[in-house]
Amino acid sequence: MESSRREIEVMANLLGSNDVQAEVNRAHFRKNNCLAINVIGSPGAGKTTLLEKTLPHFTLDLRVGVIEGDIFTSKDADRIAVHKIPVIQINTGGGCHLDSKMVSKVLPEFDWSSMDLMIIENVGNLVCPADFDLGEAFKVIVLSIVEGDDKPSKYPVIFRNAKAVVLNKMDFELLTDVNMETMRHDIRTINPGIEIFEVSCRNGNGLQAWTSWLRHEVEAYKEDKG
């Protein structure tokens, strides 16, 4: 379709320029020996709640920073700031995803002298953020199982591009029609190597496996530098 062709050209240009800046960001994280992750999910999947539950597992002995992407409000950044870690809000002003330039602009606001983990929470959207490399080491998807077991096959791009998926709101499993077999099967069909964590941020089930894995990733990233 004509409009699509035009949009694709426009997107290709935008993505090209985005990728250049993403590599600059990636070099910055590498130089500072800080694992950066890009957390992506629909509105209400539980991204911010997952961060709130994850931070206490790290902040005793590691330095963590958060970049919060939102369209207009600073509600999520306010929730993270309570944990007394550095958090910067990016408001896209209507934009449906973060891009690498938005991220690069806020990097100087952090103290990088001993940062171990930078968590970038993207705008609530399972589609557009998949296409924009921010310079992260890897992407993590947060998916509420209440959204339904057909979501991986309907939104395959993001599942193909992520290193891990956190299936959240598992406390609703028996209250919904979600088929977790289908969910896991479809995710692994799209991306056989992806890590799958089944979590309830509400009752805490499954959080330990997720935080242990993430801690391992932080350590592995530092060793890679070696």
Residues that bind a copy of itself (CB under 8 A): 1-4, 6-7, 10, 14, 17-18, 21, 42-45, 70-73, 75, 92-96, 99, 101-102, 105, 123-128, 131, 144, 146-148, 150-151, 153-157, 169, 172, 175
Q: In whole angstroms, how close is the CB of 69 to a copy of itself at the nearest point?
A: 11
Distances (CA, A) of 105 to 89, 92, 137, 175: 11, 13, 18, 44
Q: Which is nearer to a copy of itself, 116 or 149 (CB)?
A: 149
Give me the count of residues in the chain. 226
Residue 23 CB, nearest approach to a copy of itself (Å): 15
CB contact burial 205-223 (16+ within 10 A = b; e otherwise): ebbeebbeebbebbeebee
Residue type at position 118:
M
Provide the minimum distance between the beta carbon of 186 and a copy of itself in the complex, in angstroms, as a whole number. Answer: 11
Q: Are 88 and 111 contacting, i.e. CB atoms less than 8 angstroms apart?
A: no
- How near is the Cβ of 39 to a copy of itself at its closest, in Å? 16
- The smaller minimum CB distance to a copy of itself, of residues 13 and 114, is found at 13
